[in-house]
Amino acid sequence: MSMKQIANWALNTVTQRGASYADVRIVDHRQRSLATKNGKVGHAGSAETLGIGIRVLVNDAWGFASTDDLSREAVDKAAAQAVEIAKASSRVKEEPVRLAAEPAVKIEWSSPYKIDPFTTSLDQNLDLLTRIDAELLAVKGVTLAESSMQLGRYEQWFYNTDGSDIHQTRVITGAGFCALAFQGTEIMKRSYPNSFGGQHQNRGYELIDELKLLENARRIGEEAVALHKAERCPEGRMNLVLDSSQLGLQIHESIGHPIELDRVLGYEANFAGTSFLTLEKLRTLRYGSDLVNVVADATEQHGPGLGTFAYDDEGVQAQCTPIITKGLFTGYISSRETAHTIGETRSNGTMRAEGWNRIPLVRMTNISILPGDKPLTFDQLIAGTDDGIFMQTNRSWSIDDKRYNFQFGCEIGWEIKGGKLGRMFKNPSYSGITTEFWNSMDAICSRDQWTLWGTPNCGKGQPMQTMGTGHGASPARFRNVKIGTAYKGN
Amino acid sequence: MLTQSHAEQIFKKIKKFSTVDEIEVIFSSTDFSLTRFANNTIHQNVAEVNEAASIRVAFDGKTARATTNRFDDEGLKRAVQSAESIAKVQEPDPDFLPMAEASGGKGTAGPSRSSDQTAAITPGERADGVGKIVAIAKKNKLVTAGIYSSAQTAEAVINSNGLSVYHRQTSAEVSITMLADSSSGWQKANSPDVRNVDPVRLAEIAAQKARDSRSPQELPPGKYTVILEPAAVLDLVGFMFWDFGGLAILDQRSFLNNRIGTKLFGENITIVDDVAHPFQSNAPFDGEGVHRQRVSLVEKGVIRNIVYARSTAAKMRKSEYKDKVGEIRVTGHGFPLPNEMGEAPTNIVFVTPGKEQTVEQMIAGTERGILITRLWYIREVDPYEKILTGMTRDGTFLVEGGKVKHGLLNFRFNQSLIEMLNSVESIGKAVRASGEEAFDMVVPAMKIRGFNFTEVTKF
Ligand SMILES: [Zn+2]
């Protein structure tokens, strides 16, 4: 049975039962997940899941039903259930759902990769992880070493009643490690290349080689131990330089989420929250300084980010939308349903679902800050800074439900004095108000310092969906930032 | 819904596809529906049917797991082969234990958590419930957002040592936010039995909170007496229970390292893990099918015991910590193997010391303080001192002279949990509560002195 035939059963059933629009996604998702702890296997497993999700509009209201059973009987049943659910939805509504028009397309697309990660041997995968652990544990004072690797293949067939037929496959690779050092009354931590699982991209196994994991393990272990001897990061208003991974998370939390148009419109008010970016702020709000240029870019040209695809999960082509242009707030990320609320006639293509059993939601694609035009290396950035703190690698992150007030903790900080990096600081943190912070940015490094980071674990929606998003960034400097709040009073 | 006998049949088939010594399968079966509303409209409305088999093989001190939702021969065979190949390349683990014996699953016939009324809920009935919530919003000139969900789930653990345990349950949940121009209110509740969840009552309380917190005023950050409603207590304390496991101690990542047996919290803090408690939920067995025992975690502020999976208990008995960690026994709190987390207690019950106060009584006895409905975006700043940061949300009020005065702009806090549980002035009756940052628990409201707010946001 072809996927198209299965989808047609569903589309025929819902059309006969009164659906004015419907789309069907069949997803086959396979993963390999490996982790080691102190050189021993932590978790080791594979997972695969296959199923169909059917989304329908009936009486101008939404219904969705999904099943893991692709038999004709089960698909027809789920299709009928989706219609029944939509009819129930239509009993409690204020406004009809209005979908922006979208042309039908037929396309096949696969994310490019050099080495199919599933062709690499498990031996090879585990060997790398245990060798990293050994390097970390070779450092006296490291009390826990953990390494992990995730390999994934996400294949989706999309069909809708407009006639679209979109077959896409994304190959995803990720890896990272961390060292913990417990001493006295403190647990110190260093991670590489990023915290919470490392770096993740729409790439093949070639990414693992490029990350130079083993080569960095010794240094990371030593830093974790050295933090115990470091002074606590001072408190006060100071200049702040962030590494690109922390800046990536800063973008995610204080730009990526507030620009979600469904959030702005109140769709997430009960769970994730709303947004300070109310509609009148579009093209009027000074989001940041002149140097702040941010895009939402799902196209292949942007790079192999976790937010790269050919078409989104309601059949809209990947696009690049200017979000902040020379500091001015210029765009939201939208869907076919929400586009009209900002006067647009087309969605900018950001609807994404976690799997066959979830509906697509407005989701970050690759939300990236563009690098500076003028050449500026990290060393030059530091050399141009009289005093301040340089912070690396996220440790804690928190932001309010309208995305104004944030506080981030990092794993390690360094004093900047007279254009040079000096003493190490432990427990660095900074806090602020989103727009004030972005308006204080006065330098950003150029393209050669820019990394497209992957956040694999962004949560949104009820039932909760986890999504991978991309965030390109290069190191940047912010003036007069509030530093050290996390330990204030403690 | 998957039955135990059907699961056992599939297990036999899976066993035939494998050549290894030991095999274990965790079956899960879900029939889940969720009606979601915002702007007084049902805007998302979803249903899911799914069944999965998570297959673990073990031989020669090696183990691995493969999960699939494809129950045809080809799908099951592929999963078995995948688990076998991931296990094969491993180094043998000298600490490796054989799978649990059949006797390990004994005692798992707990109270029924399955309700026919919950199982029978239709999309129409959920829409009716949402209709009533929207009517209350409109009556109060508010806008509402939230969910009404219902689910039936079944899980089973079956292994080649003859262990076979099964749990079936239902669940209904309602969460409501009421929004006014400058304020909001929130309530959430769930239960295996939908008759314990009253959307109208929850909507009325959320609406009142939204009304009463209109035009919030700004108070400077600093240390204040706070009254935390149960959902706020739950979301904070939830961050410490991941450290109440044996492996967390052995890995030296627990804030209880060097602290078991010491008095860490105030006299009025007593905590047990008890899956059989009438307000509790979920299966009475762990990831290996072992019966979850009742464990006394904290007694009058003293850290007494932690929980153990089978292999962790064995490791602990041989470790340098063995005389410093309380009683070492298999408690049935392990996660599915193989894993790096070990175990954790997830059926937390606060045992209150008597003289419980209602939130109203706490307010009446407060000269100056802050009433908090809910906390949000909580993250750990310091893992050993357990400093947490986060925000207040959806109903933060000034209490003065024993009365709720007016709404306040929301705060950011940076607060040590240890210090907080040493500063509890009064405690309410423990109730089943539900938040968004931690698993559901049986927790009381608490009045706490010197809660550390470090910043104020703009709403
Ligand atoms: Zn996120």
Q: Which of B349, B334, B285 is nearest to B154 (CA)?
A: B285
* B215 has pLDDT over 70: yes
Residue type (1 letter), A280: E
Instruction: State how far the Cα of B94 lies from the Cα of B101, in Å rounded to an integer.
Output: 20
Output the CATH code of domain A3-229. Answer: 3.30.2290.10
pLDDT bucket at B105, cuts 50 / 70 / 90: confident
The SS3 call for residue A302 is helix
Q: How is residue B98 annotated by DSSP?
A: P
Tell whether A279 lies on the interface with B, counting CB pairs under 8 A.
no
Q: Do A91 and B412 touch (CB under 8 A)?
A: no
First to last CA, chain B: 46
Q: How many CB atoms lie within 10 A of CB A33?
A: 18
Q: How far is B70 from chain A (nearest CA, A)?
A: 7
Which of B89, B182, B254, B439 should one mutate to test binding to chain A, selecting the residue with the greatest count of A CBs within 10 A? Answer: B89
For residue B73, the one-letter residue type is D
For residue B364, count other CB atoms closer than 10 A to its CB.
13
CB contact under 8 A, B82 and A63: no
- Cβ pair B287, B312 in contact under 8 A: no
Question: Which among A469, A269, A342, A417 has a CA at the least distance from the CA of B44?
Answer: A269
CB B68 within 8 A of CB B52: yes
Q: Token pair 């906390």 is at which residue?
A: B375
Say if residue B111's pLDDT is above 70. Answer: no
Q: Does A66 touch chain B (CB under 8 A)?
A: yes
Structure tokens given for B92: 């043998």
Query: B148: closest CA among B281, B282, B32, B235?
Result: B32
Domain with CATH 3.30.2290.10 in chain B: 4-204
Q: What pLDDT does B110 receive? A: 61
Q: For residue A386, count CB atoms less than 10 angstroms from its CB and return exposed for 0-12, middle for 13-18, buried for 19 or more.
A: exposed
Among the listed residues B270, B43, B47, the one whose alpha carbon sits nearest the alpha carbon of residue A51: B47
Q: Which pLDDT score, from 0 to 100, does residue B58 have?
A: 97
| Spacing, Cα A459 to ligand 1 middle (Å) | 5
What residues sit around ligand 1, an ion, with C-beta below 5 angstroms? A 458
Angstrom CA distances, B88 to A210, A222, A367, A483, B91, stand at 28, 33, 41, 50, 8
Spatial contact of B167 and B284, defined as CB atoms under 8 Å apart = yes
Cβ-contact A390, A413 below 8 angstroms:
yes
- Which CATH superfamily hosts domain B4-204? PmbA/TldD superfamily (3.30.2290.10)
Nearest CA to A468 out of A447, A453, A448 is that of A453
At residue B22, the 3 state secondary structure works out as strand
Summarize chain A as % helix, strand, coil (round to 5).
Answer: 25, 40, 35
For B435, residues 6+ apart whose C-beta sits below 8 A from its C-beta are B188, B231, B232, B234, B235, B238, B374, B375
- Of the candidates B77, B37, B126, the residue with the CA atom closest to the CA atom of residue A62: B37
Q: How many CB atoms lie within 10 A of CB B8?
A: 15
Q: How confident is chain A (490 residues) per 10-residue block, as mean pLDDT?
A: 96 98 98 97 96 98 98 98 98 96 98 97 96 98 98 98 98 98 97 96 97 98 98 97 98 98 98 98 98 98 98 98 98 98 98 98 98 97 98 98 98 98 98 98 98 97 98 98 93
User: What does the pLDDT look like over A278-311, one tens digit per residue?
Assistant: 999 999 999 999 999 999 999 999 999 999 999 9
pLDDT at B109: 66
Condensed to tens digits (0 to 9), the pLDDT of residues B277-323 reads: 999 999 999 999 999 999 999 999 999 999 999 999 999 999 999 99
Centre of ligand 1 to C-alpha A431, Å, is 18
What is the torsional sign of CA B423, B427, B432, B436?
negative
pLDDT digits (tens, 9 = 90+) for B218-267: 999 999 999 999 999 999 999 999 999 999 999 999 999 999 999 999 99
Q: What is the pLDDT of residue A75?
A: 98
Token pair recorded at residue A147: 């390494």
Q: Report pLDDT for A96.
A: 96
**Which residues in chain B are contacts of A428 at CB distance < 8 A?**
none
- pLDDT band at B119; cut points 50, 70, 90: very high
C-alpha span between B33 and B41 (Å, rounded): 17
The pTM score is: 0.98
Q: To the nearest 5 percent, what fractions of chain B are helix, strand and coil?
A: 25, 40, 40
Domain residues of chain A, as ranges? 3-229, 232-487
The number of angstroms, rounded, from the C-alpha of A153 to the middle of its chain's C-alpha atoms is: 17
Chain A residues lying within 8 Å of B134, measured CB to CB: 92
* Chain B residue nearest residue A461, CA to CA: B36
Amino acid found at A329: F
A465 token code pair: 């969906």
- CA separation for the pair A103, A164 (Å, rounded): 8
ipTM over 0.90: yes
Q: Is the pLDDT of residue B164 over 70?
A: yes
Backbone angles phi, psi at B79, to 5 degrees: -65, -45
